[in-house]
């Protein structure tokens, strides 16, 4: 029987069957055990078996890809638990909520109802400034977070965000390459994992699948002259630098407050991923969409993190909580190109102009990309050869995506002629992403 409970919503979307987006630092002392177990879970990245179950308290786990019978056997003697999950969606009725609900349902199905999940929307217990403390003290067990909002706590993560202009920009295949590249680089970087561990946090998904970023403005204009003096909402340090370089004024603002600011012309533009723009209805007040068509506008991405309660669960429960994100990955990756197509349709329907940034503006994006790369390289948090690592990872996933048969049939503006959301299937891609990267980092 389903035990998923939803707060701050009205109607839960239909069931989705399971398949094989500056807080203060908190005390480390009270988190010793949680941090220790999180560290043990993270040691799986080395390819060996972690020591999370050395004291016998965590019990045995199960292998990645095991059938339900093996999972049932691993959890047969475990007591029921309840988890509080702060979703990335602001409402259960949004398209984003489908992937959140799929995650919660997969946990309950794999656990045979022994793990019940309460889904909360709109971060009602702890907002972005307080969420890390809430995860640590047990008010929240799993939550969508935005580490890029706290570069002081997560400097290596912030460095990865600042490199996203290096990623390919194309409306479907390029999105798959970008997500895989960021996922692999995040999991394989010890400093990113260590920054989470230092806060007593357990990364379930260090890179919540991020779509490309575009600019939405309440007036048209794609040249540097158009950008002079624009007030632009930004969500990361690299966006701050880019907007300043383009002659605009960066404004730090929670994205849930952006609609009203655009409506009142308190700000002129926002740089935003299309899923959030569609969910918040930004095209109603800022229908003019610009994109580079070359080097990407930097994208910001969140992480799905767990706190000390999950880190203290028996090993098989930890694995269920970790593995169940597969279902959310499927829906997220299918939604990204669909949202890109829908954004063009919506902007056009609202009377907006959809166009590429002018060459002089694209040149500023490229300057920003190179400056960010140089800064990250000198900092050393992402390794000695950041450019080489990113280039080789991109090349690897470009080859894999093409091998799997994913290919763009045109450009962003004509997606409705070549992309069909009904037939697009992310399963082969997500399977490869888990087999090649993610499964190696599951608790063990």
Rg of the chain over all Cα atoms, to the nearest angstrom: 21
Task: Give a yes or no: residue 412 inside a domain.
Answer: no
CA 207 distance to own-chain centroid: 4
For residue 3, what pLDDT is reported?
A: 36
Task: Give a yes or no: residue 225 inside a domain.
Answer: yes
Same domain, 112 and 85: yes
pLDDT tens string 117-134: 999 998 999 998 899 999
For residue 52, what pLDDT is reported?
A: 37
Contact in structure between 74 and 317 (CB atoms under 8 Å): no
For residue 131, what pLDDT is reported?
A: 95
**Sign of the torsion formed by the C-alpha atoms of 8, 13, 15 and 16:** negative
pLDDT tens string 260-285: 999 999 999 999 999 889 988 999 99
Which residue in 288, 350, 358, 329 sits closest to 430, CA to CA?
Answer: 329
pTM score > 0.75 for this model?
A: yes
C-alpha separations of 381 from 92, 155, 315 in Å: 38, 8, 30
**Domain of 122?**
5-46+72-211+301-337+428-439
C-alpha separations of 335 from 13, 62, 70, 171, 407 in Å: 16, 30, 32, 12, 16
For residue 14, what pLDDT is reported?
A: 27
Same domain, 245 and 112: no
Contact in structure between 52 and 58 (CB atoms under 8 Å): yes
Task: Give a yes or no: residue 192 inside a domain.
Answer: yes
Same domain, 20 and 121: yes
Same domain, 318 and 221: no
Task: Give a yes or no: residue 381 inside a domain.
Answer: yes
Same domain, 276 and 132: no
Same domain, 151 and 19: yes
d(CA 391, CA 145): 27
Same domain, 111 and 207: yes
Task: Give a yes or no: residue 65 inside a domain.
Answer: no
- Please state the domain count of the chain: 2
Buried b (16+ CB within 10 A) or exposed e, 35-72: bbbbbbbbbbbeeeebebbeeeebbebbebebeeeebb
Same domain, 154 and 186: yes
For residue 15, what pLDDT is reported?
A: 26
Task: Give a yes or no: residue 66 inside a domain.
Answer: no
C-alpha separations of 266 from 6, 269, 271, 273 in Å: 34, 9, 15, 20
Same domain, 329 and 397: no
Same domain, 325 and 233: no
Task: Give a yes or no: residue 355 inside a domain.
Answer: yes
For residue 54, what pLDDT is reported?
A: 34
Same domain, 138 and 32: yes
C-alpha separations of 373 from 2, 190, 193, 291, 384 in Å: 48, 19, 21, 21, 12
For residue 43, what pLDDT is reported?
A: 37
pLDDT truncated to tens, each residue of the chain (444 aa)? 333 333 333 222 222 222 323 233 333 233 333 333 334 343 333 332 233 333 333 469 999 999 999 999 999 999 999 999 999 888 888 878 999 999 999 999 999 999 999 999 989 999 988 999 999 999 999 999 999 889 999 999 999 999 998 998 899 999 999 999 999 999 999 999 999 999 999 999 999 988 899 999 999 999 999 999 999 998 788 889 999 999 999 998 877 789 999 999 999 999 999 988 998 899 999 999 999 877 678 888 999 999 999 999 999 999 999 999 999 999 999 999 999 999 999 999 999 999 999 999 999 999 989 999 999 999 999 999 999 999 999 999 999 999 999 999 999 999 999 999 999 999 999 999 999 999 999 999
Task: Give a yes or no: residue 125 inside a domain.
Answer: yes
Same domain, 188 and 295: no
Q: What is the CATH number of the domain that holds 268?
A: 3.40.190.170
């Amino acid at each position: 029987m389903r035990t998923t409970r939803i707060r701050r919503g009205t109607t839960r979307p239909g069931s989705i069957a399971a398949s094989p987006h500056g807080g203060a630092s908190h005390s480390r002392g009270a988190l010793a055990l949680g941090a220790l177990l999180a560290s043990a879970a993270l040691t799986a990245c080395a390819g060996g078996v972690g020591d999370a179950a050395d004291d016998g308290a965590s019990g045995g786990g199960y292998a990645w890809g095991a059938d339900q019978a093996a999972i049932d056997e691993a959890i047969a003697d475990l007591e029921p638990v309840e988890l509080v999950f702060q979703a990335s969606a602001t409402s259960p009725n949004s398209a984003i909520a489908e992937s959140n609900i799929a995650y919660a349902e997969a946990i309950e199905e794999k656990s045979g109802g022994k793990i019940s999940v309460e889904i909360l929307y709109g971060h009602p217990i702890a907002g972005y400034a307080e969420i890390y403390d809430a995860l640590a003290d047990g008010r929240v067990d799993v939550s969508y977070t935005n580490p890029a909002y706290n570069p002081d706590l997560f400097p290596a993560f912030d460095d990865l965000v600042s490199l996203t202009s290096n990623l390919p920009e194309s409306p479907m295949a390029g999105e798959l390459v970008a997500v895989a590249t960021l996922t692999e680089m995040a999991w394989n970087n010890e400093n990113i994992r260590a920054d989470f561990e230092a806060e007593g946090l357990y990364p379930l998904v260090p890179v919540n699948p991020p779509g490309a970023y575009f600019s939405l403005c309440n007036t048209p204009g794609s040249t540097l002259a158009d950008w002079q003096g624009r007030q632009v909402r930004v969500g990361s340090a690299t966006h701050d630098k880019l907007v300043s370089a383009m002659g605009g004024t960066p404004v730090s603002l929670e994205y849930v407050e952006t609609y009203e600011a655009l409506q009142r012309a308190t700000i002129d533009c926002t740089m935003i991923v299309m899923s959030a723009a569609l969910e918040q209805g930004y095209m109603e007040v800022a229908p003019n969409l610009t994109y580079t068509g070359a080097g990407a506008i930097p994208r910001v991405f969140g992480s799905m993190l767990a706190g000390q309660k999950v880190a203290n669960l028996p090993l098989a429960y930890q694995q269920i909580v970790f593995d169940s994100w597969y279902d959310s990955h499927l829906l997220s990756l299918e939604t990204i190109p669909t949202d890109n197509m829908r954004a063009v349709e919506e902007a056009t329907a609202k009377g907006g102009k959809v166009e590429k940034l002018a060459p002089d503006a694209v040149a500023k994006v490229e300057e920003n990309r190179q400056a960010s790369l140089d800064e990250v390289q000198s900092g050393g948090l992402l390794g000695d050869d950041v450019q080489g690592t990113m280039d080789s990872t991109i090349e690897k996933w470009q080859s894999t995506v093409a091998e799997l048969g994913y290919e763009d049939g045109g450009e962003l503006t004509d997606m409705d002629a070549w992309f069909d959301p009904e037939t697009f299937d992310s399963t082969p891609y997500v399977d490869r992403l888990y087999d090649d990267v993610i499964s190696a980092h599951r608790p063990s």
